[in-house]
Structure 1
Amino acid sequence: MIDKDLSSSLLATSIGASEFIIITDVDNVYLDYRNKKGKINRIKYAEMLDYYNKINFEEGTIKPKILASLRFIENGGTRVYITSIKNIGSIDTGTVIEK
């Protein structure tokens, strides 16, 4: 199976993009999505990596998006936005992961 988020991250890296946008059906990443707790607005790469390794993010939903974001930054990117299509005009309102 080919993961679309990781594939997109690889493509963005290969063209030398400094920023990467992941459009999904939620406005933000949450530490506890089911209970809408721990909304993440802005976060540094190292802190997100720590959360990724400690929190059981849901497979097939947000977890691959977070992994793709981390890989993008590991491979030279500086910023990733994860948000919904309705926020695309103001992507800073979603989750921003920075180097």
Structure 2
Amino acid sequence: MPAKSKHMEQRKQRIANAKKNARLATKLRRRRQLQALGGLLAIAAVLTLAYLWQSGFFKDEEPVAEETPTSEVTEAPIDPNATADPTASAEPSEAPSETPSETTE
């Protein structure tokens, strides 16, 4: 519906422009809020990762070896029949010639 005077036409145009600007401002405000939220999340993630890295969370920890005092260390007896490499001989070894002890009760 056309305005009846030039003054009313300008007023109608100003109102339309104000509504348009309000919609654009709302869009821009929402966009800025989302960008700020994304920035805060990124900063929080970086700070969390930095804290975890400093605390050693990402290091592969080797299992702690059990410490035995040297006074308690004993050498294992050496078996004279044992060879360094049991697969070195090509021919099969003979079975031990031990006879089982028979007990009669």
Task: Give the TM-score of the pair, scaled to structure 1.
Answer: 0.19
* Higher helix proportion (structure 1 or 2): 2
Structure with more of its chain in strand, by fraction: 1
Q: Which one has a bigger Cα radius of gyration?
A: 2
